[in-house]
Structure 1
Amino acid sequence: MNYTYLLINLAVLFFPLVLSFDKKVHFFSKWKFVLPAILLTGAVFLAWDLLFVKLDIWSFNPKYITGINLLGLPIEEILFFLTVPYACIFIYECLNAYFPANGLEKYSLAISNLVLGLCVAILFFGYSKWYTLINFGFLFIVLAYVEYVNKKIRFMYRFYRAYLVSLIPFYIVNGFLTSIPVVLYNSKEILGMRVGTIPFEDHFYLMALLLMNVYLYQFFKSRVAR
């Protein structure tokens, strides 16, 4: 058995879990909102993952996983949708607690419109590639819903700040996963642009994953508040 991917998951979770009892953030008290958000989002992304494996869009290097499978996926990949969202929501809450002032409030809608426009442009040129099509199509739908259909929960100015900070551990973790490599991409199904060894699409995969998690997290919190 090789524990590389498993150890990466545990490393992602370690500090956010230990620091969840920080007196200012009290993240442990928000677990009742975090858990359903992660589970619902994870169900969507696991279905996406299974589809990608069946379509041979990506696969997992057997040298770096334990070989334990669940629902047709390596157990480490399923854990990924628990550990990464937990860490990202933790970052989101820490930033809100320690830095409540946020200069992005005036610009968040403009940023969202820019991202939506980028999704449309990339879909126009990359619609024939499955990862590109599903990734940017899904992000477009979720972002458009959050900005233009959802009227009660406004958080995008805080979301974009958390996303930018989350890119730091993203480059470390995804850098390992794609350079070793643990995850293998079908070059025919991606645009071919990379930042180091990380496919360009992965940046927006992270955005979609984080956005759905944070929206549901805020949704469950708002229901209790009301």
Structure 2
Amino acid sequence: MNYTYLLINLAVIFFPLVLSFDKKVHFFSKWKFIFPAILITGVVFLIWDMLFTKLNVWSFNPDYLIGINLMGLPLEEMLFFLTVPYACVFIYECLNAYFPKNHLQKYSLAVSNLFLGLCVAMLFFGYSKWYTFINFGFLLLVLGYVEYVNVKFRFMYKFYRAYFVSLIPFYIVNGFLTAIPVVMYNNKENLGFRVGTIPFEDHFYLMGLLLMNVFLYEVFKAKANRSVV
């Protein structure tokens, strides 16, 4: 079915978009912060995506695509960088609104250090594999910057909660994409370890994608609050 990837994109964003008008979360009022964050992050990940497609790190099954390609990528793949970040930041804001108490605050730095250590280890063991090297290298840079350079505001304890919750829809959506498969991976360019049909690296690809979006989202919100004051 050549609408499969498109329908998956629509399913990902449907409920977050409809529920954006929830009175407690009021997410639609924050679109002026989220969409610039998605745009900037999307440019970075689209360049990454185009490079990996050319290097045959991954490819797309034409049987499940509508056939519209832009800059060498399926339209559905480009929409992925809109629908998934929107849905994940919506989860982030919902959790912050409905569950303001967050016990991860005391442990977020320790969790970050564990992930930073994992990134270093994966770079050591997977330096010869494109997906492993770029994926964990990117996460190392972004996470290190957010945790140790960005000291103006702290949000990682909120981020980790949203990330762990986002793994639930991640397993559903990415499970479909990799099981059908819509997206096909060259195992020579990754560690070859999978959770079900999902490459191990994909978990941290999601983390890097979500972290960059949330960081920029929080930056734009902070700048708007300072200008009001």
Q: TM-score range by the shorter chain?
A: over 0.9
1:153 deviates by: 2.0
CA distance in 2, matches of 1:79, 1:153: 30
1:211 deviates by: 0.1
Identity %: 81
CA distance in 2, matches of 1:122, 1:13: 32
TM-score (norm 2): 0.98
Match of 1:135 in 2: 135
Match of 2:32 in 1: 32
CA distance in 2, matches of 1:202, 1:153: 28
Per-residue CA shift, 1:123-170, capped at 9, x if unaligned? 101100000000000000000000011011210000000000000000
1:72 deviates by: 1.4
Match of 1:42 in 2: 42
Letter in 2 for 1:177: L
Superposed, which structure 2 residues align to 1:44-193 within 5 Å? 44-193=44-193
1:117 deviates by: 0.2
State the SS of the aligned residue for 1:112.
helix
Letter in 1 for 2:96: N
Letter in 2 for 1:126: G
1:78 deviates by: 0.1
State the SS of the aligned residue for 1:181.
coil
Name structure 2 gaps, 5 residues minimum.
Answer: none
Superposed, which structure 2 residues align to 1:10-25 within 5 Å? 10-25=10-25
CA distance in 2, matches of 1:106, 1:8: 37
Per-residue CA shift, 1:5-47, capped at 9, x if unaligned? 0000000000000000000000000000000000000000000
State the SS of the aligned residue for 2:191.
coil
1:83 deviates by: 0.1
Match of 1:197 in 2: 197
CA distance in 2, matches of 1:136, 1:107: 22
Name structure 1 gaps, 5 residues minimum.
Answer: none
State the SS of the aligned residue for 2:104.
coil
Letter in 1 for 2:183: V
State the SS of the aligned residue for 1:191.
coil
Letter in 1 for 2:39: L
CA distance in 2, matches of 1:71, 1:154: 37
Report the count of equivalent residues. 226
Per-residue CA shift, 1:35-89, capped at 9, x if unaligned? 0000000000000000000110000000000110112100000000000000000
Match of 2:224 in 1: 224
